[in-house]
Amino acid sequence: MIKSLQNQITQTEQTFETDVKNAQSIEQLEHVRVAFLGRHGKLTELMKQLRGLSTDDKRVVGPQLNQLKTRMQEVYEQKEQQLLKSQQDEQNQHKKDFDVTLSRKQDVTGGLHVYTQIIRQLEDIFISMGYSIADGPEVETGYYNFETLNIPKDHPARDMQDTFWLNVPDMLLRTHTSTVQAHVMETTQLPLAVFAPGRVYRNEATDASHNFMFMQAEGLFIDKNVSMSNLLATAEQFLQAIFERDDLSIRVRPGYFPFVEPGVEIDAECPFCTDGCSICKKTKWIELLGAGLVHPNVLKTSGIDQEKYSGFAFGFGIDRIAMIKHNIRDIRLFQSSNLEFLKQF
Ligand code: PHE
């Protein structure tokens, strides 16, 4: 009995020491402690065996067990200190190695495309003048792109803009946002004031100032007694607002568009110079709008009584406005995925 218990004491001491030595962390050491020194651990089990011994044997083995306990506690505490210290050292090293000057690569965040930004600004301006926003399909019929706009079949004005015809008879990609005019007149009660930005397509060669797809916007205002002066006041107001210059003047030249009569082209004073610069090509003026009073044939086609009502319409390129505002030299950049360009806005 006594021999077996003494053997167990020696063995327990050895395994405990090995296990403690192998513990790599405070957590692992805690497992070892519970297994040997815990309430149901190996030491308690040995103490229980002591009860079965004779009084003499107890006198011999009792102190040996107490010694074992003290020894185990020492070994345990020593290891605990050692582990705590290396944990602390590691943390200190971390703090020392922490480089406050190090910069982390920023996560890429998205932004609004410059088109979206300009369109929102334009919409705000026209909404503030009482307009509503309208849009129309980009895939159109010849009827809305031409006929309703006083451009009958075989009219030479059909060639004014190079059209992308589809493989479906009389279907095309709209060449201008003027297509929205008839859609709106057919569905909206008079008087009406709409602003319609959107994509348009032209089958032509691209260069720094031409693209096969770009953004236009159309304005249409129909009421009783609408005159050229209403058009000019509206154009001046909106150009001043978009270029953020309330002293900007406009200039009017005659222009031909089949759907307006009279037709005009409206230029704005160059917002960047007084004596000619590269943006206005040294002319001090920037050509911006095609416009005019809505042609009586256009009103008639959409079922509006041209004796009672009149209106004005204007159209312009959103790309062009953005290019002037931000000094962008190549229209093709808008549709490119050039991040360096896009990130500027
Ligand atoms: N639709 C014409 C163009 O694309 C612009 C325009 C619109 C002219 C409205 C007059 C009136 O060139």
Residue of 177, 259, 321 to mutate, ligand 1, most atoms within 8 A of C-beta? 259
Looking at residue 109, its pLDDT comes to: 82
Phi, psi of 267 (to 5 degrees): -110, 150
- Listing from the earlier edge strand, what are the strands of the sheet with 171-173? 139-141, 171-173, 164-165
Q: What is the distance in A from the centroid of ligand 1 to the CA of 65? A: 105
Residue 175's CB: how many other CB atoms inside 10 A?
21
Q: Which residue in 184, 263, 265 sits closest to 220, CA to CA?
A: 184
The Cβ-side half-sphere exposure at 278, using a 13 Å CA radius, reads 4
Q: Which of 153, 211, 123, 222 is nearest to 181 (CA)?
A: 222
At 321, is the secondary structure helix, strand, or coil? helix
- pTM here is 0.70
Q: Is 314 in the pocket of ligand 1 (CB under 6 A)?
A: yes
Rounded to whole angstroms, the Cα distance separating 134 from 236 reads 22
pLDDT for position 161? 72
Query: Is the CB of 311 within 6 Å of ligand 1?
Result: no
Bridge-partner residues for 210, per DSSP? 207
The ranges of the chain with pLDDT < 50 are none
Collapsed DSSP state (helix, strand, coil) of residue 191: coil
The per-residue pLDDT for 102 is: 85
Q: What gap in Å lies between CA 151 and CA 144, rounded to an integer?
A: 10
257 lines ligand 1 (CB under 6 A): yes
Positive or negative torsion for Cα 327, 329, 335, 341? negative
C-alpha 321/C-alpha 298 separation (Å) is: 27
Q: What is the DSSP letter of 207?
A: B
Query: Which ligand 1 atom minimizes the distance to the CA of 178?
Result: 1
Q: Closest residue (by CA) to atom 10 of ligand 1?
A: 291
- For the Cβ of 181 lying below 6 angstroms from any atom of ligand 1, the answer is no
Q: What is the pLDDT of residue 51?
A: 87
| Coil vs helix vs strand at 262 | strand
Q: 314 C-alpha vs ligand 1 centroid, how far in Å?
A: 6
Distance of CA 93 to the CA centre of its chain: 41
Question: Which of 231, 234, 252, 250 lies closest to 294 in space, CA to CA?
Answer: 231
Q: Is the CB–ligand 1 distance for residue 317 below 6 Å?
A: no
Whose tokens are 């050039």? That residue is 338
Cβ–Cβ under 8 Å, residues 290 and 259: no
Instruction: Answer for the pair 17, 71: CB distance below 8 angstroms, yes or no.
Output: no
Nearest-10 Cα torsion for 157, 162, 168, 174: -80
Q: Is the CB of 315 under 6 A from ligand 1?
A: yes
Contact between residue 221 and residue 315 where contact means Cβ atoms under 8 Å apart: no
- Is the alpha carbon torsion for 266, 268, 270, 275 positive or negative? positive
The CA angle 16-18-20, to the nearest 5 degrees, is: 65
Please give the pLDDT value at position 207. 94
Q: Please report the pLDDT score of residue 261 as a whole number.
A: 97
